[in-house]
């Protein structure tokens, strides 16, 4: 445990032996971290599960829940006896069950056509309970639906590659990021952490990179994030080959206030050495007109040769 304060233990990943090449943070912002042996009841969180599953799965869950609940209540009505539901069109046994099933659906949604209606204490009690259960469970379903819908998505567009480009009289590590969506991001803050294997060791160090600017007030356009490679930089004197050998990883976290959603949002990405172009600089993609500024988002990845400073 001889690491110094700046290098140690950021990300909660620890400065331990790494078996070889790996990527801790995927391009989409998810972590390559598995938690083993977590007791089920400790890690399972219904809300998290429901809010992060895919839309098709989510609607599947709702449909299934609706179907199963109706099945259960239809069985209860059948068990009680369908003579306690007025207006049933008696046909076959299956047909009777279907009548009970659809009566249940009309009850649980509080639709209540009334063609079929409960009679007597037991059927009425079940129907009264079912309509309450319906209100509560649909409140959860619609709450989750709106919760998913109104959850701020941060589809930041990062340049596919970073560059090592001339910067003033030294060089800099740079990447670009755009908010392609129409909503305004405010008070944007970026953090870049560099993870590298320690020379001649399998241990991994984490370094916060100093940035030319780590906070901007507005973010209407493109932002080129720059880490100047001065003599205090962990990249100082590091060559392209060394970066590969150290199995480096640039971990990016961006935080902003999304004005449409009135919420703080986070976005993450990472660059591996194979995604860093040495001796290139990003091409200009902003054009100014009398009526404002235009940013050509399609050209975010465009870079051109540029001789590095010594």
Tell me which residues in 252-281 interact with a copy of itself (CB under 8 A).
253, 255, 257, 259-266, 268
Could you tell me which stretch among 74-82, 153-161, 231-239, 270-278 binds a copy of itself (CB under 8 A)? 153-161
**β-strand pairing of 185-197 with 249-258:** antiparallel
3-state SS, 126-178, equals HHHHHHHHHHHHHHHHHHHHHHHHCCCCCCCEECCCEEEEEECCEEEEEEEEE
Residue 289 touches a copy of itself, criterion: CB under 8 A: yes
- Applying CB under 8 A, among 27, 299, 301, 302 the residue interacting with a copy of itself is 299
Could you tell me which stretch among 43-51, 75-83, 229-237, 272-280 binds a copy of itself (CB under 8 A)? 43-51
Binders of a copy of itself among residues 233 to 252 (CB under 8 A) are 251
Shorter beta-carbon distance to a copy of itself: residue 10 or 276? 10
CB of 246 closer than 8 Å to CB of 196: yes
Residue 71 touches a copy of itself, criterion: CB under 8 A: no
Residue 2 touches a copy of itself, criterion: CB under 8 A: yes
Shorter beta-carbon distance to a copy of itself: residue 48 or 57? 48
- Applying CB under 8 A, among 71, 191, 238, 245 the residue interacting with a copy of itself is 191
Could you tell me which stretch among 74-82, 230-238, 269-277, 289-297 binds a copy of itself (CB under 8 A)? 289-297
Could you tell me which stretch among 73-81, 152-160, 235-243, 271-279 binds a copy of itself (CB under 8 A)? 152-160
Binders of a copy of itself among residues 194 to 223 (CB under 8 A) are 212-213, 216-223
Instruction: Measure Cα distances from 64 to 54, 57, 104, 204 in Å.
Output: 15, 10, 15, 47
CB of 209 closer than 8 Å to CB of 192: yes
Distance of CA 24 to the CA centre of its chain: 16
CB of 226 closer than 8 Å to CB of 212: yes
Q: Which residues contact 254 (CB under 8 A, 6 or more apart)?
A: 154, 156, 177, 188, 189, 190, 191, 266, 267, 268
How many other CB atoms are there within 10 angstroms of residue 247's CB atom? 18
Residue 188 touches a copy of itself, criterion: CB under 8 A: yes
Could you tell me which stretch among 71-79, 184-192, 237-245, 272-280 binds a copy of itself (CB under 8 A)? 184-192
Q: Mapping DSSP to helix (H, G, I), strand (E, B) and coil, where does residue 4 land? A: coil
Q: What is the dihedral of CA 24, 240, 193, 223, to 10 degrees?
A: -110
DSSP notation for 242-260: HHHHTT-EEEEEEEEEETT
Binders of a copy of itself among residues 107 to 146 (CB under 8 A) are 107, 109-115, 117-119, 121, 124-125, 127-128, 131-132, 134-136, 138-143, 145-146
- Applying CB under 8 A, among 96, 106, 233, 280 the residue interacting with a copy of itself is 106
Residue 21 touches a copy of itself, criterion: CB under 8 A: yes
Q: What is the dihedral of CA 62, 63, 69, 71, to 10 degrees?
A: -170
Residue 307 touches a copy of itself, criterion: CB under 8 A: no
- Applying CB under 8 A, among 168, 199, 236, 239 the residue interacting with a copy of itself is 168
Q: Which residues contact 143 (CB under 8 A, 6 or more apart)?
A: none
Q: How far is the CB of 228 from a copy of itself (least distance, A)?
A: 9
- Cα–Cα distance between 194 and 162 in angstroms, integer? 13
Shorter beta-carbon distance to a copy of itself: residue 137 or 242? 137
């Amino acid at each position: 445990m001889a690491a110094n304060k700046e290098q140690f233990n950021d990300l909660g990943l620890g400065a331990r032996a790494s078996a070889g090449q790996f990527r801790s943070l995927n391009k989409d912002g998810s972590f390559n971290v598995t938690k083993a042996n977590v007791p089920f009841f400790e890690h399972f969180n219904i809300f998290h599960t429901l809010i992060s599953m895919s839309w098709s799965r989510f609607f599947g869950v709702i449909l299934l829940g609706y179907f199963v609940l109706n099945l259960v209540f239809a069985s209860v009505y059948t068990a009680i006896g369908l003579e306690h539901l007025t207006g049933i069109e008696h046909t076959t046994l299956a047909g009777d069950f279907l009548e009970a099933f659809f009566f249940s659906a009309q009850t649980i949604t509080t639709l209540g056509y009334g063609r079929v209606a409960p009679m007597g204490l037991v059927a009425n009690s079940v129907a009264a309970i079912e309509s309450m259960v319906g209100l509560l469970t649909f409140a959860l379903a619609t709450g989750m639906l709106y919760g998913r819908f109104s959850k701020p998505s941060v589809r930041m567009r990062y340049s596919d590659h970073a560059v090592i480009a001339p910067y003033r009289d030294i060089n800099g590590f740079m990447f670009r990021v755009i908010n392609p969506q129409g909503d305004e991001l405010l008070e944007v803050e970026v953090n870049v952490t560099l993870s590298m294997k320690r020379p001649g060791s399998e241990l991994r160090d984490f370094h916060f990179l100093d940035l030319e600017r780590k906070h901007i007030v507005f973010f209407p356009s493109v932002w080129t994030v720059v880490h100047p490679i001065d003599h205090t930089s962990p990249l100082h004197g590091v060559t392209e080959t060394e970066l590969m050998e150290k199995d480096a990883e640039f971990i990016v976290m961006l935080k902003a206030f999304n004005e449409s959603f009135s919420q703080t949002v986070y976005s993450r990405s990472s660059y591996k050495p194979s995604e860093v172009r040495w001796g290139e600089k990003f091409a200009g993609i902003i054009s100014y007109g009398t009526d404002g500024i235009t940013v050509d988002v399609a050209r975010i990845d465009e870079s051109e040769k540029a001789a590095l400073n010594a």
